[in-house]
Amino acid sequence: MQDKQIYFVEHLLEWYKKNQRKLPFRETKDPYKIWVSEVMLQQTRVGAVINKIENKYLQFIERFPDIEILANSKTEEILELWSGLGYYNRAKNLHQTARIICEKYSGKFPDSYQDLIQLPGIGDYTASAILSIAFNKPYAVVDGNVKRLLFRFFYNELDQTYSEKGIKNLANELIHFPKVEPSEFNQSLMEMGALVCIYKYPKCNNCLISSYCSTKDFSKEEKLNIPPKSINPKKQIKIYIYIINKYNKLFIIKNQHLFLKNHYFFPYEIKEKKEHLEISDSPHTFLGNFKHNIMNYLFDAYIFLVNENKKNFTFYQQDKTESKWIEVSETKKYLYSSFAKKVLDLYNNSSSLF
């Protein structure tokens, strides 16, 4: 095992030196910028998506160049810039943590694991990324790419029932090898997982470490199952979303349930029954439908323009849900999630028909 580990570390670092992508957040050791980029990168590190994150990161750093400016900004402004990245609680946590660091640590990022994981939104992954990349401390970062690469390469040596703890222990062992720079090591693991040991299409024929890889000769189907897929498939939810427009104003609610919690959205109903929707039975104008993923949910969304002459929409006013009428020009301020934007796109495309 020891020889295989040495081989792995040496070849991984050699590969990284020649093949790492030039990304703006790689050119800094500023813990504030590393933190922002790692929170954004938690979604993915692959292909086209990383270009989107790169652009968002540059816009974010231009608007909030340091932690004090972020701490003193309005949450709405941060959410607006975060628009399209999803996981809006992460943006709120960034704001809250920036305030705590400014108040408790005079704006200086803590460099201890124990202090970091006390902060909102910072768990083991982000704390390890900040400590290793900004402060070069030996804390292994284990994201989906790293788990896949390590599990495939060391498949014969690891517990094949797959344990995340086993992967984390292995990564922590490797990062302590002599002459290993923690910052470089973590980034090289994530990068090789993202660019070579890809989930669906591992590039085994062009992989520098293939000679000792346990699974290089496995079939494509076998590799797809290493690590095994999550046993929790996405929960499918049928949702009816209602657009209520009066005198060029839109009615929105502060959502308290299930998804985008505490964010403004359109009034909606969750339909538990799985039967096909009878569009013609609806008292409202059907605008269209689409599917949308949010974390562990797959929404099957049906969008309606409410005809207030046929049915009054009073159910949201009756309960305690916070609601408001906004000008159509204010949608950017309140409806920044990609889910709300899809609904708005349908509405804007169809409003010319009425």
Catalytic residues: 38
Using rule CB under 6 A, residue 195 touches ligand SF4: no
User: From the list 170, 209, 301, 346, which residue makes contact with ligand SF4 (rule: CB under 6 A)?
Assistant: 209
Q: What is the total count of residues that contact ligand SF4 (CB under 6 A)?
A: 15
Please report, for the chain, how many H helices and E strands are present, in that order: 15, 8
Q: CB neighbours (10 Å) of residue 256?
A: 12
Radius of gyration of the chain (CA): 24
3-state secondary structure of 264: strand
User: From the list 216, 254, 333, 341, which residue makes contact with ligand SF4 (rule: CB under 6 A)?
Assistant: 216
Interface region with ligand SF4, contact rule CB under 6 A, candidates 127-135, 203-211, 277-285, 292-300: 203-211
Q: CB neighbours (10 Å) of residue 321?
A: 14
Task: Provide the token pair at 211.
Answer: 């000679």
Using rule CB under 6 A, residue 215 touches ligand SF4: yes
User: From the list 204, 243, 301, 344, which residue makes contact with ligand SF4 (rule: CB under 6 A)?
Assistant: 204
The rounded distance, in Å, linking the Cα atoms of 160 and 332 is: 48
Residues 8-47: x where in contact with ligand SF4 by CB under 6 A, - otherwise, as a string: ----------------------------------------
Which amino acid does the sequence have at 265?
F
**C-alpha torsion sign, points 7, 13, 16, 17:** negative
Task: Provide the token pair at 184.
Answer: 């470089």
Q: Kindly tell me which of 200 and 276 has the beta carbon lying closer to ligand SF4.
A: 200
Helical pair 2-19 and 164-175, crossing angle rounded to 10 deg = 80
User: From the list 196, 241, 303, 340, which residue makes contact with ligand SF4 (rule: CB under 6 A)?
Assistant: 196
Site residues for ligand SF4, window 119-178 (CB under 6 A)?
149, 152-153
Residues that bind ligand SF4 (CB under 6 A): 149, 152-153, 196-197, 202-204, 207, 209-210, 213, 215-216, 223
